[in-house]
Amino acid sequence: MNPYRHLRIAICNDHAGYELKLKIVEYLLGEGATDVKDFGCHSTESCDYPDFAHPMASAIKRGEFEYGISICGTGNGISMVLNKHFGIRAALCWNPQIAALARQHNDANVLSLPARFITEEDALSMLDVFFMTKFEGGRHQTRIDKINQ
Ligand code: RB5
């Protein structure tokens, strides 16, 4: 059983998230993921996270990917960009419990990580939890329906 086989996952980052992104992609491929698209950036040279987050959000909105991962120094800037897009729910997570709740309660479709404030081990510990945890629906769906004005 390969739980990642049918998942289409997009990933984006800025320079602060580049090294962690490489580790995450390596992990996902090692776990059997076959459909991981890297929207960049592709080096540690200083860049602007919106340039990579907007294209990833658009691709998720078009239905090309079920989930995304976004990484910048704090995880905040890149999440702010993604959450401007209707239908994108990027959740800033720093431990597995928060990652699980982001799926169960918020139906988050993007796992956003603060590269400068977590370890590689922290990041990897959130991946299986995030991608394998189901949304609970019910009262949480009612709340999600009220997010957009
Ligand atoms: C880059 O220095 C940093 O500002 C960025 O990665 C992010 O933390 C912004 O929210």
Above 90 in pLDDT, residue 2?
no
Within the chain, where are the H helices? 18-30, 50-61, 76-82, 96-104, 120-132, 139-145
Determine the Cα–Cα distance for residues 82 and 85; give it in Å rounded to an integer: 6
Q: What pLDDT does residue 76 have?
A: 98
Which residue out of 18, 44, 72 has the highest number of ligand 1 atoms within 8 Å of its CB and is therefore the one to mutate? 72
pLDDT band of 101, cuts 50, 70, 90: very high
CATH class of this structure's domain 8-145? alpha beta
In angstroms, the CA 40 to CA 43 distance is 8
- Residue 12 designated active-site: no
Catalytic residue among 12, 41, 72, 93: 72
Output the residue whose Cα is nearest ligand 1's atom 8. 73
Q: What is the pLDDT of residues 23-73, one digit of tens each?
A: 999 999 999 999 999 999 999 999 999 999 999 999 999 999 999 999 999
Greater model confidence, 149 or 126 = 126
Instruction: Assess whether 72 carries a catalytic annotation.
Output: yes
Ligand 1 mean position, distance from CA 149 (Å): 28
Q: What is the mean pLDDT of the chain?
A: 97
Domain ranges of the chain: 8-145
Residue located via tokens 């991962």: 69
Q: What is the pTM of this model?
A: 0.98
Please report which confidence band the pLDDT of residue 136 belongs to, taking 50, 70 and 90 as the band edges: very high
Rounded CA gap, 105 and 135, in Å?
Answer: 6
